[in-house]
């Protein structure tokens, strides 16, 4: 993360965290097309655990002197709703009790990864998405006149207009706590085959993985445009996916 902080990036967003650290899926879990047009990944959320990403030491070591005053942001992707709520409480304590030189500027709630075993990705299960947002909004850090910290959400890609509308309708209900929506996550269930080995190029999940890279740019652009049309003006839209410059 220190390399990102030292780059020309506008901010640093930490890797999506779970409550406990985890190694992720077996290797190989990524694949890159020789032309550079596409990549696949089935990482399995490898991360150091939420306590690492919100510690004063980690933030200070990541940001360094921070002469351009970049923001440090935390991302969470719990295995269950209870884990997400637990991590938000931990972040609240870190902000209220921590060293002000290690400031957490915002938190991103990842709705684009599976949350409950046997259920779809949260962003595709609108009943689950509504429940997540409702319970998150009831936490003390969001119930005062001004939220303790800005909250964003990471969204999966949508392909049908009714799905855009349903997702936006839910998010608009929580515009009082929601600062932005990042769109898109990878396009799921892509497959690359190693024709020499006659097997999938990615080992995990029977070879099915998330598609990223330049190949997803036009899907991402359409998602950003439709979300901007549907979301309340109080909610910013952050474009992600296939971006190579700017």
- Taking the C-alpha atoms of 104, 110, 111 and 116 in order, what is their torsion angle to the nearest 10 degrees? -120
Residue 101's pLDDT is what?
Answer: 59
Q: How many CB atoms lie within 10 A of CB 212?
A: 23
Average pLDDT per block of 10 residues along the chain, 246 residues long: 90 96 94 96 94 95 90 95 96 86 89 71 95 97 92 98 98 98 96 96 94 97 98 97 85
In 42-147, DSSP assigns E strands to 71-76, 106-110
Q: Would you name the residues annotated as active-site residues?
A: 113
For the entire predicted model, the pTM comes to 0.93
Residue 161's pLDDT is what?
Answer: 97
Residue 102's pLDDT is what?
Answer: 67
Residue 194's pLDDT is what?
Answer: 95
Tokens at residue 100, please? 């002000």
Residue 116's pLDDT is what?
Answer: 54
Of 30, 81, 28, 22, give the one whose Cα is nearest residue 46: 22
């Amino acid at each position: 993360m220190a390399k990102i902080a030292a780059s020309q990036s506008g901010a640093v967003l930490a890797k999506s965290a779970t409550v406990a650290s985890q190694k992720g899926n077996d290797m190989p879990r990524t694949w890159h097309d020789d032309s550079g047009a596409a990549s696949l990944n089935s990482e399995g959320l490898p991360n150091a655990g939420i306590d690492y990403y919100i510690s004063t030491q980690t933030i200070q070591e990541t940001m360094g002197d921070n002469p351009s005053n970049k923001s440090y942001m935390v991302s969470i992707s719990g295995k269950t709703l209870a884990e997400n709520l637990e991590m938000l409480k931990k972040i609240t304590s870190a902000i209220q009790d921590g060293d002000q030189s290690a400031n957490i500027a915002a938190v991103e709630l990842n709705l684009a990864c599976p949350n409950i075993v046997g259920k779809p990705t949260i962003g595709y299960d609108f009943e689950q998405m509504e429940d997540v947002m409702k319970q998150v909004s009831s936490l003390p850090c969001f119930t005062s006149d001004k939220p303790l910290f800005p909250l964003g959400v990471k969204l999966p890609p949508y392909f049908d207009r009714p799905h855009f509308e349903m997702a936006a309708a839910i998010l608009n209900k929580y515009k009082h706590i929601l600062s932005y929506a990042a769109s898109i996550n990878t396009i799921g269930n892509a497959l690359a085959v190693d024709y020499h080995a006659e097997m999938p190029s990615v080992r995990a999940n029977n070879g099915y993985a998330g598609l990223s890279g330049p190949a997803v740019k036009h899907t991402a652009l359409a998602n950003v445009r439709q979300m901007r049309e549907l979301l309340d003006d109080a909610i910013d839209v952050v474009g992600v996916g296939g971006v190579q410059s700017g």
